[in-house]
Structure 1
Amino acid sequence: MSKIDSNSSKKALYLDAGNSSIKGAYKNGVSWETIHTKEKYTASELVQWIDDHPESFSQIVLASVRKDVQDAIRHQLSHVELIELGAEDIPRELLDYETVETLGVDRFLACYGATNQTNGSVVVIDAGTALTIDFMDQDSVYHGGLIAPGLSSFTGILPQKAPALPSVELEIPETWPGKSTIDSLKWGQAGFYKMAMEGVLQQYEEAFGEFELFITGGDARKIENLLERECKVRPFLVFDGMQRLEHRSRNIK
C-alpha cells in the first residue's frame, strides 16, 4: 500500500509528463510526496497505478510536453476528472515569448513555481533529458531561455562515438589545461558543461541583473556540484508551478 492510501481524505494527483518519463506527486500538508517508490513511470505503468488506486484522489492535474502521452492519458483515464495544463492556459500577460504554441509548458511551470518562493527574479535550470535554463522576472513574466542536451546525453556522446577513449568521472581537474588524456576528457565533459552554464548565467546577469538560481530535474545535484554559485535545489518545482497555475485558474488563494 502506498503512502497516499494511508490518508483517508482524497487528494489531487499531479502528473508531469516529460520527454522520457512521467512523474506523479500529491500534496501532503505543505510538502510534496511522490505517488510510489518508483520515481518515474511510463504512460501504461501510470495508468495501471491509477486504476489500482481509484479511491486515492479526487482529480488528476496533468502537464505534458508530449501530445501522444497526453492523448493516451486522456483516453485511458476518461473515468477520472482530468485537468490539463498547457501553454494555452498561461495568462498572456505572463509571457514574453514569441512561439507560445510550441512552448514546453514545463519550462514555464518550473519558473512559476520558483517565483512563488522568492520576491525577486529567478533563473531555473531544469536538468533532465534536456537541459533548460530559463528566466522569469519578479512579476512572474516568463522571458524564455535555452534548450540544450542534458548532462547524461552530453557526457554519453564520446563513449558512444569514440569507445576507445577511457571513461572518466564527472569532476573538474585541479590543473588547467588538461595534462593527461583523463584530465583532458574531464575538462571536455564536466569542465566544458560547467563553463557553458556559467556563461549562460553571466549572460542573464548582463541582460536582467540579479536573480536567484533554482535547479530541478533528475541531474540537479550533479549540476549543483559543478556550479560555483549559490543555488536552491528544488525537486518539485514543476509541481509547485502546476498547483499555482491551477489555483490561479480557479481563483484559489
Structure 2
Amino acid sequence: MKILELDSGNTRLKWRVLHNERPIHQGVFLNTEDWEVGFNALLSNIGMLDKARASIVSGTDRSQLLASIIRKIFGIELQIISIRPIWRGLQLQYENPLKLGVDRWLAMQAAWNHSSSGACIIVDSGTALTVDVIDHQGVHQGGFIVPGQVLMKKALLTNTAELGISYEPTASIELGNKTIDCINHGVLAMSVSLINAQTERYDDVTVYLAGGDAPQLEPHIRARSIYMSDMVMNGLALADREN
C-alpha cells in the first residue's frame, strides 16, 4: 500500500510517501514558494496512490485546496485528521481541546505511545518553539508557545540598532564575549532553560524533540532525550490505524 502523508503548517508543507509503512520519499515546500506548482509536479510523479492523510493547521482554504488537488489526480479523498480529547490513553486538559492545534496533538500521540516511562515533554523547535507536558497518567498538563530562535533574533534586529545578527546554528549556551555571541548563545540558552525547567517536574521523564533547532537543543537537555524528526507524521499513522 502506498500512502501520502501531509503536515501543512503556517510556514511550510511537509510531505512523506510510505510504501508498506516504510518511508520512501519525503520533503518540504515553503509557503513562500510557488508551492502549488511544485506540489502538483510531485504528485504527478508518485504513481498510484492508495491513501492520503493530513494534519492541517494552515486554514480551511488550504484544506480544501489540498483535498481538491488529490481528488483530481488520484480520485481519492484526503483524510484530514482531527483532535480527540481522550484517545489512546492521552487526555487533554485544554480549555477548548479543538483549539490546541492538531499538529501538537499528533506529536503528543507519537511521543506518548513511544514513551516507556510515561511522563514526556514534547518539543517542536521551528518558527515557534512549542513545549507540551504529559504526566505519567497520560494527562496533558499544558504547554508553552514562544518564538523560535530565528524569530527571537529577528525581533532584536528589528527593534535594536546596530546589532550584528547571525542566523547560523548555535551550539553554545556559555556567556558571550562579543555581541554576536551574546545574542546567539543567549537565544539558545532561553530555549534550553524553558525546556529544562519542565524536566524538573518528574523524576523520570523523556524529552521528545523535533524541528530544525532540535540538534542545537538536544545536547543541553538534562533529561533523557529522543530526536524524532517525523513526530507529527508518526502521529498521523497512529490516528489513521484506528479510524
Report the TM range for the smaller structure's normalisation.
0.7 to 0.9
Q: Say which of 196, 202, 223 aligns to 2:197.
A: 202
2:55 is aligned with 1:63 = yes
Distance in structure 2 (CA, Å) of the matches to 1:214 and 1:52: 35
Distance in structure 1 (CA, Å) of the matches to 2:146 and 2:9: 15
Between the aligned residues of both structures, percent identity stands at 23
* Matches for 1:73-112 after TM superposition, within 5 Å: 73-78=66-71, 79-87=75-83, 89-91=84-86, 94-112=91-109
User: Contact 1:115/1:138 (CA < 8 Å) preserved in 2?
Assistant: no
How far apart are 1:213 and its partner, in Å?
0.7
How far apart are 1:61 and its partner, in Å?
0.2
User: Contact 2:121/2:208 (CA < 8 Å) preserved in 1?
Assistant: yes
- Give me the TM-score of the superposition, normalised by structure 2: 0.80
2:239 is aligned with 1:241 = no
Runs of 4+ in 1 over 4 A off after TM superposition: 28-31
Please name the residue that 1:224 is paired with.
Answer: 218
Deviation by residue 1:140-174 (Cα, 9 ceiling, x = unmatched)? 44333111111211123223433522235624365
Please name the residue that 1:191 is paired with.
Answer: 186
User: Contact 1:171/1:186 (CA < 8 Å) preserved in 2?
Assistant: no
Task: Specify the SS of the correspondent of 2:11.
Answer: coil
Aligned length: 231
Considering only aligned residues, what root-mean-square deviation do their CA atoms show, in Å? 2.8
2:22 is aligned with 1:25 = no
Change (3 A) 1:122 1:32: farther
User: Contact 2:40/2:69 (CA < 8 Å) preserved in 1?
Assistant: no
The runs of 5 or more residues in structure 2 that have no matched partner are: none
Distance in structure 1 (CA, Å) of the matches to 2:37 and 2:136: 39
How far apart are 1:104 and its partner, in Å?
0.8
